[in-house]
Amino acid sequence: MRILITGASGQLGGYLLRALRDHGGEVVAWSRSRAGELFGRVPHPIDLADARAVEAAFDEARPEVVIHAAAMARVSDCHADPEKAHRVNAAATATLAGLAARRGARFVYVSTDLVFGGDRGRYAEADAPSPLSEYGRSKAAGEVAALAVPRAVVARVSLLYGPSLVGRPTFFDEQVAALRGGRPVTLFADEHRSPLDLASAAVALLELAKSGFVGVLHVGGPERISRLEMGQRLAEHLGLAREGIVAMRRDEAPAPEPRPRDVSLDSSRWRHAFPTLSWPTYGEALLILCPVTPVPPSAASAPAAPS
């Protein structure tokens, strides 16, 4: 199976390439500008905003499966340049989906929980998107473009977390560094998500790509938790004081676009279809992502040596 991964140099892309290390077939990786080998593959720089370049590179790649993970993925960047956000996240998705359909290739579009407005949470696949941001609007438009071709999949992934594999720190890395360095981390108490670790998300997307599933699927974690609680659990896991995490409300932080209150996903359809895939809680994932050496009970209870 020849697989094309767009956004291969991104946070999710790195995990996709790692999961494909032992893939017997050919893997073609694209980035926008970042090159350099990642898990044995060197991404080709292809600007998705350049439809002609995309078409030529696609013909060369001849994929049977496309996992389209590339995006202008920062909410603030999309707000600053909505026209570019739509060109990259929506128009380029339409181009790629059309090219995939022409070749009879399967098309998996990586979408986001931020296509929802956050007014009620635990969103199911049948719920109508109601994005609050330019990012969410451009990704929702990408979904429409993807679903216009046969055999396409829209995988709406939730907030993803984990250490970076691509050399650029993730928000998770930054939080760990700040906590270990004694710097405070401010997080929203009133923003709820259903986070999933990057490794599980990558494997889920690859299994989805290999399967016959068609349509929209929510790929989120098993818990609905606030950003604040995530930070507090991380601090506790690292053996650091919860006080390093400072609570804030969304209305205390000025932002050019409204922030959703609760975009947690109901992922039961995915779980029903792929029950054997890994689905760790945040706590379970932390044990793997940041192993901590337990203090032996004898050492923990031993009296301090006199100085």
Ligand X SMILES: NC(=O)c1ccc[n+]([C@@H]2O[C@H](COP(=O)([O-])OP(=O)(O)OC[C@H]3O[C@@H](n4cnc5c(N)ncnc54)[C@H](OP(=O)(O)O)[C@@H]3O)[C@@H](O)[C@H]2O)c1
Piece of the chain touching ligand X by CB under 6 A; list 29-37, 205-213, 222-230, 256-264:
29-37
C-alpha to C-alpha distances, 282 to 197, 218, 247, 289, nearest whole angstrom: 8, 18, 19, 10
Tell whether residue 138 is a contact of ligand X (CB under 6 A): no
Q: Which residues contact 110 (CB under 8 A, 6 or more apart)?
A: 7, 12, 67, 68, 69, 71, 155, 157, 205
User: Do residues 170 and 11 make contact, with C-beta atoms less than 8 angstroms apart?
Assistant: yes
Query: Does residue number 70 form part of the binding site for ligand X (CB under 6 A)?
Result: yes
Helix H, strand E, coil C: the string for 142-202 is HHHHHHCCCCEEEEEECCEECCCCCCCCCHHHHHHHHHHCCCCEEEECCCEECCEEHHHHH
Stretch that binds ligand X, among 154-162, 176-184, 247-255, 271-279 (CB under 6 A): 154-162
Angstrom distance (rounded) from CA 307 to CA 296 = 22
Using CB under 6 A, count the residues that bind ligand X. 27
When asked if residue 38 is in the footprint of ligand X (CB under 6 A), the reply is no
| Residue 159 within binding range of ligand X, rule CB under 6 A | yes
Is residue 48 close enough to count as binding ligand X by CB under 6 A? yes
**Nearest to ligand X of 34, 79 (CB atom):** 34
Stretch that binds ligand X, among 69-77, 213-221, 236-244, 251-259 (CB under 6 A): 69-77
Measured from the CB atom, is 70 or 185 closer to ligand X? 70
Q: Shortest gap between Cβ of 276 and ligand X (angstroms)? A: 23
247 binds ligand X (CB under 6 A): no
Q: Which stretch binds ligand X (CB under 6 A): 25-33, 236-244, 257-265, 296-304?
A: 25-33
Write down the least CB distance from residue 114 to ligand X, Å: 7
Task: Give the binding range for ligand X (CB under 6 A) out of 6-14, 57-65, 261-269, 297-305.
Answer: 6-14
Q: Which residues of 156-173 are buried (b: 16+ CB within 10 A; e: fewer)?
A: bbbbbbbbbbbeeebebe
What residue type is 63 in one-letter code?
A: P
Q: Which of 88, 99, 146, 179 binds ligand X (CB under 6 A)?
A: 88
Smallest gap from residue 71 Cβ to ligand X (A): 3
- Exactly one of 47, 190, 223, 257 binds ligand X (CB under 6 A); which one? 47
Q: Is residue 49 a contact point for ligand X (CB under 6 A)?
A: yes
Check binding of 221 to ligand X (CB under 6 A).
no
178 lies in the site for ligand X, by CB under 6 A: no
Chain positions contacting ligand X, by CB under 6 A: 7-13, 31-34, 46-49, 69-73, 88, 110, 112, 139, 157, 159-160
